[in-house]
Amino acid sequence: MPMRKKLLAKAWKIWRDKLQPIAIVVLILTTFRSAVADWNDVPTGSMKPSILEGDRIFVNKVAYG
C-alpha cells in the first residue's frame, strides 16, 4: 500500500503542476473561440481591394448574437 500512495501522490503532483494549467488554458480558449470571437479565412475576392482572398478576419460573435 505505501507504494501505491507514493505513486498516487506523484501523479497528483504532475496533474497539479503541469497538466492542470494547460487544461485551464485550453478550456478558456475553447470557450472564447466558440462564444465570443472567431477567425475565418476569406474564400472569395468579393471585398477587393479591402479584403483579399485568403485573408483572415476576426469575427465578433457577441455583436451578432
Question: pLDDT by residue (tens digit) across 6-61?
Answer: 899 998 998 889 999 999 999 999 888 888 888 888 888 888 888 889 899 888 88
CA–CA dist 54, 43 (Å, integer): 6
Report pLDDT for 46: 86
pLDDT for residue 47: 85
Instruction: Confirm whether pTM is higher than 0.85.
Output: no
**24 alpha-carbon distance from chain centroid:** 10
